[in-house]
Structure 1
């Protein structure tokens, strides 16, 4: 008999690729490889061999096997399997350490009482935390086998893990069947997004060469095969190692040829293995195949009974199939095929009509087996599929609608969409109203948690079905939804929907007390707002609110108050209107509406200099969206939060939100929003390759990205161009898009600052080259952008209230950058003011830039080292906290040029030795600076005291400690490692 293959033939180059990724991960450079190829080409075997080698080197292997379950995915089922395997095999001490590090593990793993279906998105960080905790003990290789069958939660978690690659000792190896992915399969987009990241690649596994096939067959047979048999295997298998394995199954090296009844293609080879079973066992396996997913033995017994197959025959068939490597038990009760492809082949072996009674048997068995929660949803979903296969469309439709409601109750919106699709497929053509209701529901579900393009397709189909004359209000609603769908999927620019919205308003005008009329008015207001026609925007917003109150509709009131907050963003009423919009959105139960109202409120808060107040509001609304299963809405919040945090310099927090947003975003609008945040963060961190990838993907999602005010893209795009050393292109982009962006003057003013920065970079470079013409050209470009901005209202850097510190900070940055462009002398005071303004406004990134420029100006003005050191050291600290590698390098270069030490005192708060215990807080501060060899002048500037006061403190230090000089005092403190309390 052929032994189970424990060695591996060929694939030397592919093994080296995977080994290199694992070795890099062991060295703290995480990476991922997606191994793709046809079924049976040896993807899993290749990964297993490489992992066996890694195991011998001390790596931990987490093996996650994905299985096709049908409509209702079990969340994280593959990853849970891998983690449960680790939990079972881990040493007790290591298990305790990991569980202590990730307390929420008990919510994830069933063996600890977890129910992951209750909070799929919330548990994503738990999956990440567990893997990272294990990786802290030893290098980890996470294998995700057959990722084409992964549940959506597992895919999201993989995106989350890959987006978080930094220095973890983690390698991810995933396999998938590329020939099974139909055009348009969402997996294509998901995979494309992942492999665009620099740390992720794909590895195509082609069929084996004849020499490799010979090596494989020799290993399988336990010796060199007969030439004729090898030739036959090579011909029939055609390099497919799985087919080769099946072809020689049951043979020995003494056999001269293959059995005559064996087929010559993959399907026939799989059926040949199945044909070796007894007739009753073959029939039982065919029954199992029609089931479509793993089944418990008692269910299979009941199905078989309806076909006249006795209990003992089923039991014997399972034993025989398991012994022959066809069937495997995934647990004590559940059985499935060792190679899931065999289930598909067997299902396809039924001639037309032959499977109908088998589907009916499955339906009859499942009909009376009630469950709870996700299990019940899965049962009802399978029941609907079997009724459809049994040619009972009425029953399938009825059960599909039941599954729709179950999925909605469980907040399993993606599953709700699956069953809505089937219901629409089965819906009677003559019942148009019911089909329209289902299409509306499918569009809504897709917008909340699934595919934006499908939402557009559903509404487009609705537009074809609706009769404007018979049902004008529904037609009005659909027209509006189609316009919105085209916009959010990137097919229509802002303002281009005016004709569609006007037609929607025209249809609803005869019904002035209807919600549809109020919402059409609101949409028209929003359309005018985005093209900066504020008078019209305000008029229609006021009319929309009046009509919404007449209609008594929370949805209409939500929309009316939202657009009013936009239109009146410069007035106090915008604060009230945005709060009202959020209140009605929650009363209506619309997570997306809550987000829209919250966005309007952020605009108002920003105008009052209170943008950071939006963070707790967004965090709370994000939690609501996750609880509702609205993952697309959650992605919107993650993108918004990340962009706010990038403004105020909370880069670490932004990074986490970007990771989660990238994992969840399904609609182009929200995905582009997260991509822009990711690109900006990558730029500031110095990873321009990643920034370019995110930028390119954002353009693919939203082609008119630059001219969409709601995306606020130009500042981010310009900052990337500046980092790439392309200030001229940045200046051109900013000039081209300034007029469009004036709908949000805050963004236009930020663009003006970046224009000055770009022009200053251009001018400085030209001066270095002694190119006076280019210097003049840079100044002319800046003047033209400045003139363009001043023609637009409101005036540059206008503020509504004194509490707005952001716009004044931007103004000082603009003034300082303009002075740099014009090479004005003595600009240190300008940069000092900009520094303090940015610090007061909480703009930590801009503060870091301003402090660097301040130090640079001081050095140019020949200021003393103590004066230069103050802003330079703080800039260095800021860049370190922000993870801004390129800017930190600039600070280090300037410090080296000025011969200034950037080291900070080593401070701590513990008991001091007896000689130092009587030191005051201020004396400890002074001592901390002496330890790092700072002069009295430097200490005075850093602590905002006079040099004379520093001298007094040093005298006290000498007296209290018995040191004879400040140098001796510093040396003693440093030698015995005196910790100093922080200032």
Structure 2
């Protein structure tokens, strides 16, 4: 209505900021080339952040970009969940309606939590992945909208952002990889005190290479002069410029205020107090205008015209006159849609709000709340409940504030804004005792809670119901410390309360939180819960306790106890109709069945759970089945079947926006791809830890798989880095077979590969001392095979043999591993084991594991060359067979890029003077090439550096001692040294390490 009123205090000339505009223009150009850009713009209040964004937005629009602006909204001390994203998406929908509709197709129900115009929000269950699921879908939505047209997404006033907005922005900036998108976010740098919640986010984003920060400095004296000239439409007096520059210290907003005040002849009356400076223009208004400024200040960042009219209680002409006075004084601005008003600068609003008397503030908030209750259409539907809660809370009326806060918590939960849900629940708990008994008696659990199984419909809401809901909300949004404190308080309250089911439920929550925080395995807490439900009639809580206990046993102590717990959990859940819990328990049972050797029945159980979850639309159970079923298929060597299920699982998790689950599925797919020899595809399946895998466990699994591939390809620096990541992820509390056994295996392999046999032996001893739990054979067989070169004593070899005797061999892949381990043990003890290696190769020829087959062929070739028949004709046949085996092994190594293994194959072939395809080319120049050593002389020098005599060198290289002596003499001459010791020193200095020593003690030289 008053949008056309001129704002004379704003300079029509944009002053300074050339460097910043250049950075923004560069970001726009990069985004136009398909490289998403992210910039954080900080600066003190009034320094010109908004003006910079407006100038850039205008320039971007002129160049064809779609610009979507959104700002964080403050209502008293509360922010609206996702407010800047909702506003920006609404603007994007207006600018690109067809593109946004196409990008949101199929996910409208979930995305409606951010943009209600897309339809009714979905009714999917709430869980730890709920918020991440919404974030993933939002990121993909923006990528799709920005696929063909540059989009600028600008979010202002991040210092007011709610926790959910901060989490979504962090996720977005960490995960955007494609699309012509520029994301800008502004914040007040002077407001970010040590405990401000934005501070850790800024520190986190600073570490991202994809995010750039711009800090706006104050204006120079020259720039202040140009700004004043623009405001006054004439060149200012130099003395006036000096005075304003001195008093404003270059703050653009203060320059405007001082310039206008001086032009109106009131400069002399101003003090240096910021508050007085900001209020002087308000106090110059007529009383109606001042009152209107106070009303708008307490209504929030932006107040709708109809809501203002209801609160002010003025006739329309008087209302318009009051608003016109405030707009003419450059205090208020009409919103772009002309439907509301806001202060031209938030500093003025804060000053006006702070100037209110306590009773005045409460009265204004009450009027806002009463007006909104009388006519809910006065504000947008997605803001209504939370704004009402804010108004009633600041009106200090517990009777009204308690139910309003609870309504706001439900609204926040429906939007997956779990941080805000927790905030409003904690506020409700603060109000609980202050609210009248009759108000509390009217509240029903079914209306406000869903975490704890609902009691009778007629039951009243209890304080413990709020605590249960808050604990779960804290777990969902990652505020686990707060949730843990809530469970502790709840259990103290329940100590004198005869409510074992509720106590057991809180102990289960505490168990989950303790595990997530790394404070323990959660076993003690589950034991308390089990004891509390013992002997009670079946119920949902009882079934949940048994399912969590069964899951704990499956992970930490599989065996008869785990079976019994899983079977009871299934029975109880089925008895009480808890379908989700029943299917979860059946998955646990299926995994235990496979681990115990009942493979087909276990796999059938897992497949049926998956099919039932899909048919009954239970996505979290279905996605868990897409993780567990292929994992068990891989465990028994059926990698191709696992990959087929995983490919469907990737698509399913992608459609449902489940980032953590996608990370687990991609990890399982990478593992199967490694098994079948598709290493390049496996490398592409590894998930960027910044994109998905928010859960620590998923990140750790991907790190272990990356380490496995890096070791096999000889990238030991990468392997060290990834193993360190895995150790950080798992820590001591993740001491489970699926985590610590692969970690131990690859740590041992790396120590062997780098020639650290003592460290490898120590790692092996620790693994053997820890023991191997039942059902862990899929991890134990490869570990024991890998660790053979680390068994530097007969005792360690005996311990490995003893451990292997207790491992099941019910699957073909486990049988093959058992044969392989037996042959490795005989080889380590000095036996050729020709028959055993032949059996091992035959076993792997029936499995689709090319790298394992190649390594066992290499061992068989070695046995043929060192322990074959004495008959000359048969020996020649052995050499021919060995040559063919080495040729096949070398071809696999070359195809996979397994450089260390290719070198080992090549070394054995050259020792035996067999014709094998040349080894893989080195990535860097040969360090001894300048010394003029031949290939054979390099082999000899390695053995000299290892301390071998001429006779030992001859035996290892299948040459005569005399020939070995000649090689040594030639090497000494070429190196210009006087003896073997100096030659060994030269070899170590140039990096020509003894390959045999890398692999372990004499006689066990090649990498396993």
TM-score by length of 2: 0.65
Say whether residues 1:131 and 2:146 are aligned partners.
yes
Say whether residues 1:194 and 2:201 are aligned partners.
no
Say whether residues 1:491 and 2:518 are aligned partners.
yes
Q: 1:636 aligns with which of 638, 660, 663?
A: 660
Task: Indicate the SS of the match to 2:469.
Answer: helix
Matches of 2:319 and 2:863 in 1, distance apart?
88
Shift of 1:327: 1.9
Matches of 2:548 and 2:59 in 1, distance apart?
61
> In the alignment, which residue of structure 2 is the partner of 1:43?
49
Residue pair 1:327, 1:338 contacting (<8 A) in 2 also: yes
Residue pair 1:380, 1:399 contacting (<8 A) in 2 also: yes
Residue pair 1:579, 1:597 contacting (<8 A) in 2 also: yes
> In the alignment, which residue of structure 1 is the partner of 2:491?
463
* Cα distance, 1:614–1:287 mapped onto 2, change above 3 Å: farther
Matches of 1:187 and 1:538 in 2, distance apart?
47
Shift of 1:128: 0.9
Shift of 1:311: 1.9
* Cα distance, 1:677–1:67 mapped onto 2, change above 3 Å: farther
Q: 1:177 aligns with which of 167, 185, 188?
A: 188
Say whether residues 1:829 and 2:885 are aligned partners.
yes
* 1:634-663 per-position Cα deviation (integer Å, ceiling 9, x unaligned): 23212212213333269889979957x856
351-360 vs 539-548, which moves further: 539-548
* Cα distance, 1:231–1:576 mapped onto 2, change above 3 Å: same
593-602 vs 392-401, which moves further: 593-602
Q: 1:244 aligns with which of 255, 262, 265?
A: 255
Residue pair 2:363, 2:395 contacting (<8 A) in 1 also: yes
> In the alignment, which residue of structure 2 is the partner of 1:942?
none
Q: 1:441 aligns with which of 469, 481, 484?
A: 469
Say whether residues 1:428 and 2:437 are aligned partners.
no
Q: 1:71 aligns with which of 77, 80, 102?
A: 80
Say whether residues 1:500 and 2:525 are aligned partners.
yes
> In the alignment, which residue of structure 2 is the partner of 1:8?
15
Q: 2:333 aligns with which of 319, 327, 333?
A: 327
Shift of 1:379: 1.0
Shift of 1:680: 9.6
> In the alignment, which residue of structure 1 is the partner of 2:590?
565
Q: 2:385 aligns with which of 355, 380, 384?
A: 380
Matches of 1:332 and 1:857 in 2, distance apart?
77
Say whether residues 1:611 and 2:642 are aligned partners.
yes
Task: Indicate the SS of the match to 1:335.
Answer: strand
Pairwise mapping of residues 734-753 of structure 1 onto structure 2 (< 5 A)? 744-747=776-779
* Cα distance, 1:421–1:753 mapped onto 2, change above 3 Å: farther
Matches of 1:683 and 1:213 in 2, distance apart?
61
Pairwise mapping of residues 49-128 of structure 1 onto structure 2 (< 5 A)? 60=65, 62=67, 64-68=69-73, 70-74=79-83, 76-80=85-89, 83=92, 87=96, 104=105, 115=118, 118=121, 121=135, 122-128=137-143
> In the alignment, which residue of structure 2 is the partner of 1:574?
602
* 1:341-361 per-position Cα deviation (integer Å, ceiling 9, x unaligned): 443443333221211221111
* Cα distance, 1:471–1:678 mapped onto 2, change above 3 Å: farther
> In the alignment, which residue of structure 2 is the partner of 1:336?
342
> In the alignment, which residue of structure 2 is the partner of 1:970?
none
* Cα distance, 1:51–1:695 mapped onto 2, change above 3 Å: farther
Residue pair 1:525, 1:538 contacting (<8 A) in 2 also: yes
* 1:739-758 per-position Cα deviation (integer Å, ceiling 9, x unaligned): 679554444566678879xx
Matches of 2:402 and 2:634 in 1, distance apart?
50
* 1:259-286 per-position Cα deviation (integer Å, ceiling 9, x unaligned): 5246522x44433344454432232232
Shift of 1:474: 1.6
Q: 1:301 aligns with which of 287, 303, 309?
A: 309
180-189 vs 335-344, which moves further: 180-189
Residue pair 2:745, 2:782 contacting (<8 A) in 1 also: no
Unaligned runs of 5+ in 2: 1-7, 123-133, 441-459, 817-845, 867-881, 930-1008
Matches of 1:847 and 1:335 in 2, distance apart?
67
* 1:282-332 per-position Cα deviation (integer Å, ceiling 9, x unaligned): 322322232224333122211211xxx332232233344444263231313
Residue pair 2:17, 2:52 contacting (<8 A) in 1 also: no
Matches of 1:235 and 1:867 in 2, distance apart?
83
* Cα distance, 1:298–1:891 mapped onto 2, change above 3 Å: same
Unaligned runs of 5+ in 1: 89-95, 627-633, 757-777, 839-845, 873-888, 898-983
> In the alignment, which residue of structure 1 is the partner of 2:287?
279
* Cα distance, 1:78–1:719 mapped onto 2, change above 3 Å: farther
593-602 vs 634-643, which moves further: 593-602
519-528 vs 423-432, which moves further: 423-432
> In the alignment, which residue of structure 2 is the partner of 1:369?
375
Task: Indicate the SS of the match to 1:132.
Answer: coil
* Cα distance, 1:462–1:599 mapped onto 2, change above 3 Å: farther
Residue pair 1:229, 1:256 contacting (<8 A) in 2 also: no
What is the RMSD computed on CA atoms of the aligned residues?
A: 5.7
Matches of 1:382 and 1:263 in 2, distance apart?
36
> In the alignment, which residue of structure 2 is the partner of 1:622?
653
Shift of 1:582: 6.2
Matches of 1:689 and 1:18 in 2, distance apart?
37
Matches of 2:550 and 2:859 in 1, distance apart?
38
Residue pair 1:582, 1:597 contacting (<8 A) in 2 also: yes
Larger Rg: 2
* Cα distance, 1:77–1:286 mapped onto 2, change above 3 Å: same
Matches of 1:348 and 1:131 in 2, distance apart?
42
* Cα distance, 1:297–1:242 mapped onto 2, change above 3 Å: same
TM-score by length of 1: 0.67
Residue pair 1:558, 1:580 contacting (<8 A) in 2 also: no
Say whether residues 1:292 and 2:320 are aligned partners.
no
> In the alignment, which residue of structure 1 is the partner of 2:157?
146
Task: Indicate the SS of the match to 1:64.
Answer: strand
* Cα distance, 1:507–1:80 mapped onto 2, change above 3 Å: closer
In the alignment of these two chains, the number of paired residues is 815
Pairwise mapping of residues 933-972 of structure 1 onto structure 2 (< 5 A)? none
Matches of 1:617 and 1:338 in 2, distance apart?
53
Matches of 1:415 and 1:330 in 2, distance apart?
28
Matches of 2:321 and 2:863 in 1, distance apart?
90
Matches of 2:195 and 2:213 in 1, distance apart?
19
* Cα distance, 1:581–1:746 mapped onto 2, change above 3 Å: same
Residue pair 2:71, 2:83 contacting (<8 A) in 1 also: no
